[in-house]
Structure 1
Amino acid sequence: MTALLRITPQLLTLAALMAMVTLFFPGFLKIEFVDGRLVGPVMDILKRGAPVGLLAVGMTLVIATRGIDLSVGTVVAITGAVTAWAITNGYGLGGALVLALAAGAVAGIWNGCLVAIAGIQPIVATLILMTSGRGIAQLVTEGRILTFSHDGLAFFGSGDLLGIPVPALIWLATAIGVTLLMRRTALGLLVEAVGVNRAASALAGVNATVLLIAVYVASGLCAALAGIIATADIRGADANNAGLWLELDAILAVVIGGNSLLGGRFSIAAALLGALIIQTIDTGILLAGFPSEYNLVIKAALVLVILVLQSPNLAGHWYALRRTFGRQPAATTATAKGAKQ
C-alpha cells in the first residue's frame, strides 16, 4: 500500500497525459488484434519506450548510491555495434548476445572502478566513457552502418510474444527481476545505505566498493539490453546515432519518478512510470500533429510542468503564499483579537 501511494503522483500524471493526447487524437487508446499481434499507439509506447525503460532501471540503482552514469547512451552504441559485428562474422545469435552483454558488463566495471576505487566523481568518471565510447563503437563498425539479416536477432527488436511486443516484455521482465532482487533481499537496503552515507555504511560492515561496482555493472547490462533491442529493431548498428542523448532521458525518467539525485531511497516502478511519461509525451506530440521544430520545446515545457507539480516543496510554498496574501489561520486570528482586548 505504501509503495502504491508513493507512485500515485506518477500514475495520475500518466493518466492526465493520456487523456490530453486522446483529446487531440481520439484513437489513442484503441488497441486492435491484427495478424496475431496487438497494435495501437499504446502498444507502440510500450515498445518504443523499452530502451529508456531499461536504462532507467540501471540509472535508478546508480543514482540511489548518489552517483550518475552519463555513459549509458554510448554503451548502447557500443553493444549495438558488437551485436551486429558478431552476427555478421558468424558468431550466431547466442554468441552475439553473450558478447554484447559482456561489453556492457566491462563498461560497467570500468565506470565502477573509476568511481569506487580511483575515487573519481561519478559525473566525471562516466563522462570519460561517454566521450570516448562512440569512437570505440566506430572502430567496431569500421566507421559505417553495419547491417545484417538475421530473423532470430530481429525478433528482439520487432517480434512479438502472445501478441505483445518483445521489447516491452524484456524491459518489464528486467524491471520485475531487479525489483524482486532489491526488495526480497538485503541488497536494496544496502544500496540505499551507501547512497545516504558511504562512510557510515562502510563502518557498519557494508562493502561499499564492491556494491558501487555492482550497480555500475547493472547499469551497463541494462544499457547492453537496450543496445541489443535498438540494433535488432533497425537490423543494423549506427555508431553515430544509436543511443544518442538517451542518458538524459534516462536521468529525467528517474527524476520524474520522484527519485532523489542525492541518493538513498529509490523506486524502480516510479522510474519506469517516468520513462512511460516521457515516451507518452513524445508519441502524443507526434500524433497531435505539431511541427517537428517545436517538439523538443513542447516536451521540455510539459516536463517542466510535471516536475513543478510533483515538487515536494510546492505544498509548503502554497501554504506560505496563502499566509502572506490570503486569510490568516484561525488560531492566528484569535490571538490577534485577544491582543486587542
Structure 2
Amino acid sequence: MIATITKHRLFWPAAILVVLLVTNVFFSGGFFKIEFRDGHLYGSIIDILRASAPLGLVALGMTLVIATGGIDLSVGAVVAIAGAIACLRISKLDDQNAVTGVLLAVGLALLLSLALGVWNGFLVATVGIQPIIATLILMVAGRGLAQLITDGQIITINSSPYKMIGAGYWLALPLSVIVAVGVAVIAAIIVRRSALGLLLESVGGNAEASRLAGIKSRWLILIVYVFAGLCAGIAGLMISSNVSSADGNNAGLLIELDAILAVVIGGTSLSGGRFSIAGTILGAVIIKTLDITIYTVGIPPEVTLLFKAVVVVVLCLAQAPKFREKFQRRRPPAPTAPQAQQKVEVTA
C-alpha cells in the first residue's frame, strides 16, 4: 500500500510541500492561522494561494504547450503587454471606476493576448519554426512592445473595479484564486473528459505517427498556444491590478522560467506526451511556498536563488524513477524466509 502511494507522480511534490509548510511553523508560530475579518479570509496560507494564482495560470497554459512537444518563452512578455494595455486604457477614462470602461479595457487586453497566442501558434504550426525560436521572438519583441505601450514609464491607476481582479474577494476567498481554480477545472474537464487530452499526448509523443493516423496536429498546436496566451493575459491582469499599475519592464519578468519549473515539478514530461494539470498547479504552489519559506527562515538574499535551486534539484531527483531505482539497488535486499532459515542452519 505504501509502495503504491510513493510511486504516484504527485506523492513527492506533495511531500515537499508539506515539509515546506511545516518548516514555516518553527519560524512563525501563527503560520497556519486563518482569520475571518470583514467577510474575508486572511492568513499566510491565503497569501500563498493568492501569490500562486498568476503563476498557476501561466503554468497551466505552458503545460498544454509542453504536452505537444513545444515550449512558450513569451508568456512573461504577454503578461506585461496585457497589464500595460489594460492600465493604459483605464488611465484614459474620465471615470476609472466605471465598470463598463474597465470591462472594455480587460476585454481589449485579453483579445490582444489571444492574438499573440495565434501569432506563436502560426509560427510553430504553419511556418514550421522551432517553438523555442518562435516564442523567443515574441519574448524579446513583446517586452519592447510593453515598454512602448507604457512609454517606458510605470502607469498608475486608481480603479476599484479593476483592483478586484487581483486583490478583490468573493465568497470570502481571493477572486484571483477562484478564477485560477475555475480555469484549471474547466481545462481539466475538457482535456480529460474528451479525446482532446489523448490527442495532445499523441501529438507530443510522436507527431509523425499522429499525422499518419489522421490527427490534425496543426490545429491542436495552434489551440494550445492560443490557450497559453489567454492564460498569460489573465495572469497579467491579476498582477497589474494587484498593484494598480503596469510596468512594461518588470511585470512578468522570468515568470516563464517559474512556469516551466512548475510544470516539471508536477510530473509533465518536457519531451512531450504525458502531462498533469493537477501536478502543475501543485508545482506552482510549491514554488510560491518556497519563496515565502525563504523569507520566513531568513535566508540571506545573496544565497536565495542557490537555496531554491537545491530544493528543486532534490525534488526532481526524488521524482525521477531511474534515480530511485539506482538508490534502491545499492541497498541489499532483505532475505526471504527460506533464505533466512537456510542461513541459520548453516550457522548452526
Note whether the superposition's TM-score is higher than 0.5: yes
Matching residue of 2:14 = 11
Which residue is 1:261 aligned to?
270
For residues 132 and 112 of structure 1, the distance between their equivalents in structure 2, rounded to whole angstroms, comes to 16
Q: Distance in 1 between matches of 2:13 and 2:230?
A: 26
CA distance in 2, matches of 1:113, 1:219: 14
> Residue in 1 aligned with 2:96?
none
Task: Provide the residue aligned with 1:44 in structure 2.
Answer: 47
Aligned CA-pair RMSD: 2.1
Corresponding residue for residue 211 of structure 2: 202
Selected match of 2:75 from 69, 72, 76: 72
Q: Say which SS state the counterpart of residue 256 (structure 2) adopts.
A: helix
Superposed, 1:265-304 pairs within 5 Å as 265-304=274-313
SS of match in other structure, 1:313: helix
Letter in 2 for 1:84: C
Paired residues of 2:12 and 2:318 also in contact (CA < 8 A) = no
The size of the alignment, in residue pairs, is 330
Q: Does 1:189 align with 2:193?
A: no
Rounded to whole Å, the distance in 2 between the matches of 1:303 and 1:146 is 35
Q: What residue in structure 2 maps to residue 247 of structure 1?
A: 256
Letter in 2 for 1:260: S
Alignment counterpart, residue 22 of structure 1, candidates 12, 25, 28: 25
Greater shift in the superposed pair: 42-51 or 89-98 = 89-98
Distance 1:290 1:142 in 2: 37
Post-superposition shift, 1:10? Answer: 2.1
**1:37-186 to 2 correspondences below 5 Å:** 37-90=40-93, 92-186=101-195
Deviation larger for 31-40 or 228-237: 31-40
Shift of 1:316: 1.4
Q: Residue type of the partner of 1:236?
A: S
Gaps of 5+ in 1: none
- Comparing 67-76 with 201-210, greater Cα deviation is found at 201-210
In structure 1, C-alpha distance between the alignment counterparts of 2:156 and 2:16, rounded to whole Å: 39
Give distance in 1, aligned partners of 2:27 and 2:179. Answer: 30
SS in 2 for 1:117: helix
What is the alpha-carbon distance in structure 1 between the residues aligned to residue 307 and residue 328 of structure 2? 30
1:98 Cα deviation from its structure 2 partner: 1.0
1:6 CA displacement: 3.6
Distance 1:241 1:98 in 2: 23
TM-score, normalising length from structure 2? 0.90
Distance in 2 between residues matched to 1:327 and 1:177, nearest whole Å: 46
Rounded to whole Å, the distance in 2 between the matches of 1:29 and 1:97 is 35
Percent sequence identity is 48
- Gap regions ≥5 residues in structure 2: 94-99, 344-348
Structure 1 partner of 2:330 = 321
Q: Structure 2: how far apart are the matches of 1:43 and 1:251? A: 24
Task: Quote how far apart the aligned CAs of 1:35 are.
Answer: 2.1
Structure 1 match to 2:237: 228
- Relative to structure 2, which stretch is displaced further, 290-299 or 161-170? 290-299
Contact 2:57–2:235 (CA<8 Å) still a contact in 1? yes
User: What is the TM-score normalised by the length of structure 1?
Assistant: 0.92
Residues 31-79 of structure 1: CA deviation (Å, up to 9, x unaligned): 1112221111100000011111001110000000011101101110011
Displacement after TM superposition at 1:163 (Å): 1.4
